Amino acid sequence: MPQMETLHDAFLDELRDAYDAEKQLLKALPKMAKATESDQLRTAFQTHLKETEGHVERLEQVFGSLDERVRGKHCDGMAGIIEEGKTVIEEFEGPTLDACLIASAQRAEHYEMAAYGTLVAWARAMGHEDAAGLLQQILDEEKATDEKLTQLAESGINSEAARAAHGEDEDEEEAEGASGLRGVASMAGRSGGVRIAAATSGTSGRGGSTSSTSRSSRSSSSSSSKSSGSRSGGKKKR
């Protein structure tokens, strides 16, 4: 009999993918917690590690509620996100690293939010109410973690990283840019679906994308020297 012919098959496939993604995060989060110098960010990663253990357990309950054997299927998407996260740990340090770690973590969260959003919707559509309830609980925790990371990024980590890149005189400009985008992120964050992934992580986590935007809007002669200055500010010396 051919595989994947019904929505139920696709649902089970997504569940196995999510289960494997959580297992991968169980290994990655301690490394991220170890890499940061920020106590608050470390605590956030450690808290989410505990939650992730709970997500694995809930997913096992979901399999049970469907009379299915607990099984993972390698999640290439999460593997790629984690691999990129490893690269930033090697390349950056200090507040720049913290901003980049938040960016990586938010990519992982948004990937999971998209997956669990789909799983909840499919479970409901097929009448798997117990599964839908458990999956919704996981989704809510992923969203809360994402919001916590946005808060951390915007309550000092991004501006500290920006200061390391651009110097004190540009604090105000950076702050203005960040607050302007914050509204977009929170609006998008409520709209649900895939669009939020790009909007929120681009705003809050990616100090790099914000600063490169403001760099490109400056006059060319000073922007090239600032650009190279920013590299030495946050890059690890080899």
Residues binding Fe ion (CB under 5 A): 52, 55
Closer to Fe ion by Cβ: residue 200 or 230: 200
The conformation of residue 233, written as its DSSP 8-state character, comes to H
Closer to Fe ion by Cβ: residue 75 or 164: 75
CB 62 within 8 A of CB 120: no
- In the complex, the smallest distance separating the C-beta of residue 166 from Fe ion, rounded to whole angstroms, is 35
The phi, psi pair for 235, rounded to 5°, reads: -75, 145
Closer to Fe ion by Cβ: residue 41 or 115: 115
- In the complex, the smallest distance separating the C-beta of residue 94 from Fe ion, rounded to whole angstroms, is 28
C-alpha closest to that of 17 among 116, 136, 106: 116
Closer to Fe ion by Cβ: residue 19 or 92: 19
* Alpha helices (runs of H) in 36-170, residue ranges in sequence order: 39-65, 76-91, 94-125, 129-152, 158-166
Q: Give the chain's end-to-end CA distance (angstroms, integer).
A: 56
CB 22 within 8 A of CB 52: yes
Closer to Fe ion by Cβ: residue 52 or 118: 52
CB 108 within 8 A of CB 81: yes
Closer to Fe ion by Cβ: residue 18 or 178: 18
Closer to Fe ion by Cβ: residue 55 or 110: 55
C-alpha closest to that of 123 among 137, 110, 107, 143: 137
- In the complex, the smallest distance separating the C-beta of residue 67 from Fe ion, rounded to whole angstroms, is 23
- In the complex, the smallest distance separating the C-beta of residue 169 from Fe ion, rounded to whole angstroms, is 41
CB 15 within 8 A of CB 119: yes
Q: How many helices (H) and strands (E) does the chain have?
A: 10, 0
- In the complex, the smallest distance separating the C-beta of residue 50 from Fe ion, rounded to whole angstroms, is 11
CB 113 within 8 A of CB 143: yes
- In the complex, the smallest distance separating the C-beta of residue 105 from Fe ion, rounded to whole angstroms, is 11
- In the complex, the smallest distance separating the C-beta of residue 224 from Fe ion, rounded to whole angstroms, is 41
Q: Sign of torsion, CA 162 167 171 174?
A: negative
